[in-house]
Amino acid sequence: SAVISQKPSRDICQRGTSLTIQCQVDSQVTMMFWYRQQPGQSLTLIATANQGSEATYESGFVIDKFPISRPNLTFSTLTVSNMSPEDSSIYLCSVASLVHEQFFGPGTRLTVL
């Protein structure tokens, strides 16, 4: 299994600001994903981070709000832009060689005031 780290582990932000979350993996991986878990809700896939090309976003998520970078096979960032209290969530990255075998990072707990 891969070792995945995320920074920051938590943050409290003011509405209207942006936060960039980093995901670092200790080995090269084919697939990287970004999820959101709102309070009391399930993990929801935001997008698939593609190396060298634009991320693939799920319905309900757009690049302007959640820009994603993936410059190489071990690193990705997710930015939460123009934040509102509704963006308060845990954001998780995951990595996989196969879709069914995903390993998750520890998550970033975001609170927007």
Partner 1 sequence: DQQVKQNSPSLSVQEGRISILNCDYTNSMFDYFLWYKKYPAEGPTFLISISSIKDKNEDGRFTVFLNKSAKHLSLHIVPSQPGDSAVYFCAASEGDDKIIFGKGTRLHILP
The site for partner 1 (CB under 8 A) is made up of 4, 9, 40-45, 58, 92, 94, 98-107
Q: Determine the 3-state secondary structure of 86 from DSSP.
A: helix
Find residue 23's DSSP bridge partners. Answer: 6, 76
**Cβ nearer to partner 1, comparing 83 with 95:** 95
**Cβ nearer to partner 1, comparing 80 with 94:** 94
Residue of 110, 113, 44, 47 whose CA lies nearest to 77: 47
**Cβ nearer to partner 1, comparing 33 with 87:** 33
Question: Closest distance between partner 1 and the C-beta of residue 4, in Å?
Answer: 7
Question: Closest distance between partner 1 and the C-beta of residue 82, in Å?
Answer: 26
Question: Closest distance between partner 1 and the C-beta of residue 86, in Å?
Answer: 18
Which residue pairs, CB below 8 angstroms and at least 24 apart, start in 101-105? Answer: 102/33, 103/1, 103/2, 103/4, 104/4, 104/35, 105/4, 105/5, 105/6, 105/23
Question: Closest distance between partner 1 and the C-beta of residue 19, in Å?
Answer: 18
**Cβ nearer to partner 1, comparing 13 with 43:** 43
